[in-house]
Amino acid sequence: GKLSRVRHVITYSLSPFEQRAFPHYFTKGVPNALRRVQASVLRAAPPFIAFYLVYTWGTEEFEKS
């Protein structure tokens, strides 16, 4: 029940049967994720590419020796 009364505080509740688990997941969530990946790929890809090139070079040099 309501044990205390707090002024200027409004609380809302919603039944679990009225909630939607994944609202707009495919219409807004997936395109937003693709947009974020596209925006950050130029910042994130060069270090990975450089690491891959250094790793393959190092592995080849190790195999030679």
What pLDDT tens digit does each residue of the chain (65 aa) get?
Answer: 565 677 887 777 777 777 777 788 888 989 999 999 999 999 999 999 999 999 999 999 999 99
Which residue, chain included where needed, has tokens 């994130």?
44
Number of domains in the chain: 1
Domain with 34, as residue range(s), is 1-64
Domain of residue 50, CATH code: 1.20.5.210
Cα 63 from Cα 57, distance rounded (Å): 10
Distance CA 46, CA 52 (A): 10
Measured on CA atoms in the order 16, 17, 21, 22, is the torsion positive or negative? negative
The pLDDT score that the predictor gives to residue 16 is 74
